[in-house]
Amino acid sequence: MGCSPCQHLCQLDQSQDVCLGCGRHVSDIAAWRTMTDEEKAVAREKAQKTLEKINTQ
């Protein structure tokens, strides 16, 4: 359950502080190793929504 959504395509959108490869916010990336599985699930869901938003712009 704790698998990282990292796609190894790291590119930071400086205006939003999100990775354009995985959609995670920099604070989620930094905290990933200490997050619970529940927190990671929330972060993955948020990242997916962020990527969908980015890809429709």
Residue 1 has pLDDT above 80, yes or no: no
Q: What's the pLDDT band for 2 if we cut at 50, 70, 90?
A: low
This prediction has a pTM of 0.84
pLDDT at 36: 96
For CA atoms 19, 25, 26, 28, give the dihedral sign. Answer: negative
Pair 29, 13: CB distance under 8 Å: no
Pair 2, 33: CB distance under 8 Å: no
pLDDT at 30: 95
What CA–CA distance (Å, rounded) separates 22 from 35? 17
